[in-house]
């Protein structure tokens, strides 16, 4: 993939186009180039082992039954406090 393609993917996330899980898709080293070591470590340890999806299920579907949570920006917004806590745990 090209750098232009990666830039477009980041722009789509920032504009909330597509799905929030698009964040979890590797960006061909772009994350490592754009962010400091703490953010890179968080991205690699949080999104790669699918902790994101586990936290999403807990945050969105706590009382909703056995189905998977919708991969939507509304669901992501409910997950933001969990993301903040996970990042703080990693960087403290």
Q: Give alpha helix (H) positions in the chain.
A: 3-14, 30-34, 37-47, 51-60, 73-91
Residue 88 pLDDT class (50, 70, 90 cuts): very high
List Cα–Cα distances, 79 to 1, 35, 69, 73, in angstroms.
29, 21, 11, 10
How far is it, in rounded angstroms, from Cα 10 to Cα 4? 10
**Whole-model pTM?**
0.60
In the chain, domain spans: 3-91
Residue 39's pLDDT is 81
The string of pLDDT tens digits covering residues 40-78 is: 788 778 877 678 788 888 887 765 566 677 888 888 898
User: Residue 20 in contact with residue 73, Cβ under 8 Å?
Assistant: yes
């Amino acid at each position: 993939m090209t750098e232009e393609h990666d830039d477009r993917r980041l722009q789509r996330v920032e504009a909330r186009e597509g799905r929030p899980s698009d964040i979890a898709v590797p960006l061909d080293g772009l994350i490592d180039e754009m962010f400091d070591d703490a953010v890179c470590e968080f991205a690699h340890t949080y999104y790669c082992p699918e902790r994101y999806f586990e936290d999403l299920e807990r945050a969105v579907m706590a009382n909703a039954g056995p189905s998977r949570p919708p991969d939507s920006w509304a669901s992501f917004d409910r997950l933001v406090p969990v993301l903040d806590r996970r990042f703080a745990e990693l960087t403290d």
